[in-house]
A and B are shown apart, each in its own frame.
Chain A
Amino acid sequence: MNATEKDLPQLEESFIEEAERIISQYPVSKRSASLPLLHLWQRHFGFVSPQGVQWIAEKLDLEPIAVEEIATFYPMIRQRPLGHYQFKVCRTLSCALAGSYEIFEYIKKSCKTVNEVGHHVYVSEDGKFSVEFVECLAACGNAPVMMLNEEEWMDVTQTKIDAILNHLIREKRKEEF
């Protein structure tokens, strides 16, 4: 166990095992595991903190800057938390032709995502919802397309958004009570 692991009591045994399993898939160069470990970290903690960068760097015998450099290059890797429910609406041509900009505005309005925290990225006051534009999701035949966290949604309509939100709000209530 290295120094950072000791500082991170929330790191479970299973997390470390999973990290080891990932590293074993790159027998030629551990450095290749940088992005996979960033994915792993983000899946667990929602975003990649400086601590995360530090831990991954130590795990892979790299300077933290080498990991930082990756974390800041790839749009899917985040350095700060986003909504608990993240809408990612495809902005690119086929989806735009099918009305994705209207869908984007509709989600923004419905989720009251009023705070613009980055270019094309909005978060709701309570931090529960975020909506952002992403580029082509490779499902253009079913435009407009979006992702809700890691789930893909095709042929999105305002009615579908309503149904999804109703469902999420019900789920959220369950969590809270």
Chain B
Amino acid sequence: MAKAEYRLILKHADEPGYTVDIDCYLSHGGYQVLKKALAMPPDQIIQEVKISGLRGRGGAGFPTGVKWGFINHEKNTKPVYLLCNADESEPGTFKDRQIIYKDPHQLIEGMVISAYANRAHLAYIYIRGEFAKGAEILEKALAEARERNFLGKNILGSGYELEIYVFRGAGAYICGEETGLIESLEGKRAYPRIKPPYFPAVLGLYMCPTIVNNVETLCHVKHIVEMGGAEYARIGTPNNTGTRIWCVSGDVNKPGYYEYPCGAITFGELLYEVCGGIRNGNKLKAVIPGGSSAKVLRADKKYKIPKKKEDGSTEIVEMGLEDIPLDFDTVAATGSMSGSGGIIVMDHTRDMVECLRNIAEFYAHESCGQCTPCREGSLWMKKMLDRICTGGGRPEDSKLLLEVANHIAGRTICAFGEACSWPVQSFVEMFGEEFEAKQRKESSLEILEPLTNRTA
């Protein structure tokens, strides 16, 4: 039997009869936490979020309370803005969609609480352009919330004022990067900003302090205020608190989104029990654990994971992929990351060179073009992989691929540089023999299904 889910964020999302209407949300206790929050001093909410240990669900896993603490409200004289990152553009990720399409008021309640805590009076939801229906649902939900005075002037008689608007992106992945998002919202091309400042909390939208958080992160805030930071921190494991929504796609029998406390379930349990195993009774070959930017993990490899012992010391244990618990820190210890929670599964029939080629095409298409290593390197890697996959491979290609990738990461304005080199580095390192065989044009790989049936 598969371990039962623990649905905190998706509690109602798939309940029969649960709708996006405000009355439905209210009849399920909606906006009660907002009432509680408005009676608390804003700093106390920030404190609860700090105690909760909440880490961002957008990809980097940065502690939300720490981020919120960057704004010094005693000294700051500028307006503060809250931006909800609903770009959901990391390939393999489809969790924010569930919240937006099925429980929009949960997000709005989380946002009003977060905006209040951060003294913001204007907030935007930056939603990817393809979520046209999602934008409509949010617009309607915001209008309902305004009508009931959960938004607008003097919210519920508290004297607090907030407006939230929806801003639609238009098909560019880089708008998910928070400073690209801000530029886009300012009416410019989504060119990520040079750091420092490292955080928009220092200089963000319209050069004012700005908090950018992911959709799921903002929903967690609601639950933290509801149950208290300390109680929330009991879900999951130390430094990996709360639940996470794991999105599984690729070669499993039951792809989908599954919510569990951090660390409560292993890759093996998730893929074999929850997701019904690998399709066609095939063998697991590889997993990309945190969206396509995360380094690929090989199923038959052992990973060295530091483990805390009872006496507080740490020891290194060897673990197979299937035994690794899904959280932030253990997945990071494999050298990869749990990122956005998008888990892409590949079985033994898959050609790893083809899979990497697919990913490389994504990054070549999405580079914003500001930095030379990223713009040229992402395209070069894609072209090399096209050539290798169409029979033009050369023995020196693996080395060259790695060289190009190594010259991007760490030399660019934004983390897209890492995002496009990590897949290349990890695929070539983990599956070097497949690249070499292809480059030697050996036919032993013919049993592998091609990903595409095109020739160029």
How many interface residues does chain B have, given as a range? 35 or more
CB distance A93 to B292 under 8 Å? yes
Report the stretch among A33-41, A159-167, A168-176 that lies at the interface: A33-41
Question: 9 A-B pairs, CB-CB below 8 angstroms?
Answer: A26-B165, A36-B167, A69-B189, A74-B170, A75-B172, A92-B91, A101-B454, A136-B93, A139-B94
* Mask of B339-351 contacts with A, CB within 8 angstroms, 1/0: 0001010100010
Query: Hey, which chain A residues are within 8 Å of B250, CB to CB?
Result: 93-94, 97, 140
Interface membership of B37, Cβ < 8 A: no
Distance to closest chain B CB from A127 (angstroms): 22
Interface membership of B249, Cβ < 8 A: yes
Report the stretch among A11-19, A110-118, A142-150 that lies at the interface: A142-150
CB distance A92 to B187 under 8 Å? no
Identify A92's interface contact among B122, B292, B350, CB under 8 A.
B292
Q: Which 5 A-B pairs have the closest CB atoms?
A: A74-B170, A31-B187, A140-B249, A76-B171, A94-B249
Residue of B nearest to A66 (CB): B187
* Bound form: Cα–Cα A37–B29 in Å: 37
CB distance B189 to A34 under 8 Å? no
Interface membership of A156, Cβ < 8 A: no
Given contacts A94-B91, A140-B91, A140-B255, contact A135 B366 (CB under 8 A): yes
Distance to closest chain A CB from B153 (angstroms): 14
* Mask of A27-59 contacts with B, CB within 8 angstroms, 1/0: 111011111101100000000000000000000
Give 18 new A-B contacts, CB below 8 A, not counting A26-B165, A28-B122, A136-B362. A39-B170, A69-B189, A70-B188, A93-B250, A93-B288, A93-B358, A94-B91, A94-B344, A97-B249, A101-B451, A101-B452, A134-B130, A136-B91, A136-B93, A138-B128, A140-B92, A141-B255, A141-B257
CB distance B168 to A39 under 8 Å? yes
Interface membership of A4, Cβ < 8 A: no
CB distance B362 to A92 under 8 Å? yes
Given contacts A74-B169, A140-B247, contact A97 B350 (CB under 8 A): yes
Query: Hey, which chain B residues are within 8 Å of A121, CB to CB?
Result: none
* Mask of A63-76 contacts with B, CB within 8 angstroms, 1/0: 00010011001111
* Bound form: Cα–Cα A51–B242 in Å: 51
Total number of A residues with any Cβ neighbor in B under 8 Å: 45
Interface membership of B437, Cβ < 8 A: no
Interface residues of B in 34-50 (CB under 8 A from A): none
Distance to closest chain A CB from B225 (angstroms): 27
Query: Hey, which chain A residues are within 8 Å of B173, CB to CB?
Result: 135
Instruction: Give the one of B79, B167, B168, B247 with max A CB within 10 A.
Output: B167
Query: Hey, which chain B residues are within 8 Å of A75, CB to CB?
Result: 170-172
* Bound form: Cα–Cα A142–B92 in Å: 11
CB distance A35 to B184 under 8 Å? yes
CB distance A147 to B94 under 8 Å? no
Question: Could you tell me which B residues sit within 8 Å of A by CB distance?
Answer: 79, 88-94, 96-97, 122, 128-133, 165, 167-173, 184-190, 206, 247-251, 255-257, 288, 292, 342, 344, 346, 350, 355, 358-359, 361-362, 365-366, 451-454
CB distance A136 to B359 under 8 Å? no
Query: Hey, which chain B residues are within 8 Å of A134, CB to CB?
Result: 130, 171
CB distance B92 to A93 under 8 Å? yes
* Bound form: Cα–Cα A141–B355 in Å: 17
CB distance A139 to B172 under 8 Å? no
Residue of A nearest to B92 (CB): A140
Distance to closest chain B CB from A100 (angstroms): 9
Given contacts A94-B344, A141-B247, contact A152 B133 (CB under 8 A): yes
CB distance B170 to A141 under 8 Å? no
Residue of B nearest to A71 (CB): B170
* Bound form: Cα–Cα A38–B93 in Å: 27
Residue of B nearest to A75 (CB): B171
Query: Hey, which chain A residues are within 8 Å of B89, CB to CB?
Result: 135-136, 138
Query: Hey, which chain B residues are within 8 Å of A33, CB to CB?
Result: 187
Query: Hey, which chain B residues are within 8 Å of A91, CB to CB?
Result: 358, 361-362
* Bound form: Cα–Cα A105–B135 in Å: 30
Distance to closest chain B CB from A140 (angstroms): 4
Identify B187's interface contact among A27, A32, A94, CB under 8 A.
A32
Distance to closest chain A CB from B138 (angstroms): 13
